[in-house]
Amino acid sequence: MPLTLSDSPHPAQPATRPSSAWTGWGQWIALITMSVDHVTRYLLPEAWKMDWASSSIGRIAFPLFAAMVAWHALFNSRDSRHYARRILVIGLLAQLPYLAMPRDAFQLNICFTLALSLVWASWLRDQLEDTTPSPVRTGLALALSLACWLALGHWVEYGHAGLLVVPAFMLAMQHAARLRGDPGERPVALVACLPVLALAGWLNQSLMAKSFTLATTLAVLWLAAGGARHVPPVSLRMPRKLWLGWYPGHFAAIAAWLLFGTS
């Protein structure tokens, strides 16, 4: 699920925001692991017994994409809603070939999961930062947002749990990043990390899949807590067109092979 990087800091974030160099490596890892997941799931014959790759390497992609969305929304993007719209455009382009994949029922692809969860996370952050909140209006809006979550969770990839991952990552990252300036924030940061860690275990069923998702989540939280400053810039920056076009493009290629390659 590609996203657009931005070098512009969020207005609420000063120049001391953490280094985003790790996301250059994250882009390559996310696209490779996602492609491994989809190729082994949709193209390789069952006789090859490669389903282990989808249940291990393939489980890195979604938490990594969600983490990068949350990271850029917190530390780099000036307008999270505009950022979400760009992700949604990619999802719209990918939806038709995505539907050509073998599946039991209609489902919206992962871009919809990430875009909708980013909008929700941004709204929740705005409510928390509002210095003059209206309890009645906020309560009604929160109830409506929860109703939307309940309804949309049945239609998007990774379901209800998936829609919670970006908000949970943003909560955890925001508090983990404060540890750089105030180690006394450690108890609060640990509590703030619990929701996203619980979701990492909720997203998948097998122990192997849970382990890879949880390890990816822990790695990102370490980066947010200060580890990002130790990551050097990627030596080969991913071309923008490849990053934006890979998600719909690779589904189109898989769909073409499924429709015409085996005939």
**Which residues, at least 6 apart from 80, have a Cβ–Cβ distance to it below 8 Å?**
73, 118, 119, 121, 122
Q: Which residue has the higher pLDDT, 123 or 185?
A: 123
pTM above 0.85, yes or no: yes
Q: What's the pLDDT score for residue 3?
A: 54
Q: Which residue has the higher pLDDT, 69 or 129?
A: 69
Q: What's the pLDDT score for residue 180?
A: 75
pLDDT at 2 over 60: no
Q: What's the pLDDT score for residue 8?
A: 40
Residue 1 pLDDT class (50, 70, 90 cuts): low
pLDDT at 68 over 80: yes
pLDDT at 205 over 50: yes
Tens of pLDDT along 112-142?
999 999 999 998 888 877 777 778 877 888 8
Q: What's the pLDDT score for residue 10?
A: 44
Q: What's the pLDDT score for residue 167?
A: 96
Q: Give yes or no for a contact between 37 and 57, defined as CB atoms under 8 angstroms apart.
A: yes
What distances in angstroms separate CA 2 from CA 79, 84, 88, 108, 146, one per listed residue? 17, 11, 10, 15, 26
Nearest Cα neighbor of 111 from 77, 157, 144, 70 is 157
Tens of pLDDT along 4-63?
444 344 444 444 678 999 999 999 999 999 999 999 999 998 888 898 999 999 999 999
Degrees (nearest 5) of the Cα angle 45, 51, 54? 120
pLDDT at 247 over 60: yes
Q: What's the pLDDT score for residue 11?
A: 42
Neighbour count for residue 196 (Cβ, 10 Å)? 27
pLDDT at 93 over 90: yes
Residue 149 CA to residue 142 CA, distance in Å, equals 10
Domain boundaries, the chain: 22-261
Token pair of 231 as six digits: 């990551």
Tens of pLDDT along 210-244?
999 999 999 999 999 999 999 999 999 999 999 99
**Which residues, at least 6 apart from 13, have a Cβ–Cβ distance to it below 8 Å?**
74, 75
First to last CA, the chain: 29
Residue 171 pLDDT class (50, 70, 90 cuts): very high
* Angle, in degrees to the nearest 10, between helices 110-129 and 61-75: 30
Which residue reads 């450690």 in tokens?
Answer: 186
Tens of pLDDT along 186-196?
899 999 999 99
* Angle, in degrees to the nearest 10, between helices 110-129 and 159-177: 50
